[in-house]
Amino acid sequence: MALPAEKFDSESELKNQVKTSRDDITDFEKKLQEKQRARELYQMQQTERRQQAQQSENEKLSPEQQKAKAHAQGAPMKVSASYAGGSADLSPTQTGDKKAGPIKSQESSSDQENKPAQSEQPAPSENAETQAEEETKPQTREQQMRRQLEQQRKDLNKTREEIEDKKKKLEELKDGQGFKRFRTQRQLDSQKKEAAKKQKMLAKTEGALQKHLLFKQLLNKSWFSLVPSFGAAYLYIAFHFLNAYFTPWGNLFCRFGEEWLPDFKPFNVSNNKLEWVEILGCVGLGLLLLGLVILILFGISLLVYIWMNPIKSAIVIAFEGLKYFMGIPIGVID
pLDDT in tens, 74-122: 555 444 444 444 444 444 444 444 444 444 444 444 454 444 444 444 4
Amino acid at 129: E
Give the pLDDT mean for 126-143.
62
> Is the pLDDT assigned to residue 20 strictly greater than 90?
no
pLDDT in tens, 189-201: 998 999 999 999 9
**Residue in 262, 242, 260, 261 with CA at minimum distance from that of residue 252:** 242
How far apart (Å, rounded) are the C-alpha atoms in residues 283 and 275? 12
Q: What is the CA radius of gyration of the chain?
A: 46
How far apart (Å, rounded) are the C-alpha atoms in residues 231 and 291? 13
Give the DSSP per-residue string, 117-163.
Answer: HHHHSPPPPHHHHHHHHHHHS--SHHHHHHHHHHHHHHHHHHHHHHH
Give the domain ranges of the chain.
18-61, 139-271
Instruction: Tell me the whole-structure pTM to 2 decimals.
Output: 0.49
**Residue in 170, 196, 163, 171 with CA at minimum distance from that of residue 185:** 170
pLDDT in tens, 54-80: 887 777 666 676 677 666 665 554 444
